[in-house]
């Protein structure tokens, strides 16, 4: 009989099913972001162009195993995009993370699992209106992620909204690496 790995052993999140289960759904988000626009992960062995479609660097796409995207909105003035890319192992992800484009980095803090998380300042143009946006980039195990939070002027956005979403996503990946079903949510 084969026993599951011990809970202290981490298993890289490398296939599309694992990565997709790490993505949050509308049920995991705050109630003011109730609509899922996208919720999907792609196996790059089957759909290699999806990596570039998700705008990850070509050098990363050459080594990555899967990519995933969850996009949630309230359809009026807020959107959250969660972009994940997984590598065969943590070392490959760490190497890619160190070599990422740092031109948008606005700050750094230590994430919930001790990983470095970098904040980004973004300006997003939608429907000829200027949206504001902030983002984070992080590495958790074999996964690199970007969380982008955008909103229209005068939208009521929680001050800690971006970091709360980032913490939840990191926790969900951490749970999956431990062989658990991801349950972290914002509720």
pLDDT at 141: 92
pLDDT at 32: 86
CATH code assigned to 16-177 = 3.40.1000
Write out residues in the chain with pLDDT < 70, as ranges: 1-8, 101-129
Domains of the chain, by residue range, sit at 16-177
Query: Cα 114 from chain centroid?
Result: 16
Global confidence as pTM = 0.85
Dist CA 77 CA 157 (whole Å): 9
pLDDT at 128: 45
pLDDT at 106: 59
Dist CA 160 CA 169 (whole Å): 14
pLDDT at 113: 52
pLDDT at 105: 60
Dist CA 61 CA 48 (whole Å): 8
pLDDT at 119: 55
């Amino acid at each position: 009989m084969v026993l599951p790995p011990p809970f202290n052993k981490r298993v890289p999140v490398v296939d599309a099913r694992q990565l997709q289960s790490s993505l949050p759904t509308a049920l995991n988000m705050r109630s003011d972001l109730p609509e899922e626009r996208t919720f999907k992960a792609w196996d790059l062995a089957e759909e290699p162009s999806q990596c570039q479609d998700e705008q990850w660097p070509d050098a990363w796409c050459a080594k990555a195993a899967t990519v995933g995207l969850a996009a949630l909105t309230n359809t009026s003035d807020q959107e959250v995009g969660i972009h994940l890319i997984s590598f065969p192992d943590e070392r490959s992800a760490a190497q890619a993370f160190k070599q990422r484009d740092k031109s948008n980095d606005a700050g750094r803090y230590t994430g919930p699992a001790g990983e470095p998380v970098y904040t980004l300042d973004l300006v997003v143009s939608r429907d000829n209106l200027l949206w504001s946006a902030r983002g984070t980039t992080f590495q958790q195990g074999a996964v690199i992620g970007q969380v982008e939070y955008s909103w229209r002027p005068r939208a009521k956005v929680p001050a800690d909204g971006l970091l709360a979403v980032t913490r939840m996503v990191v926790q969900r990946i951490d749970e999956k690496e431990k062989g658990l079903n991801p349950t972290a949510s914002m509720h």
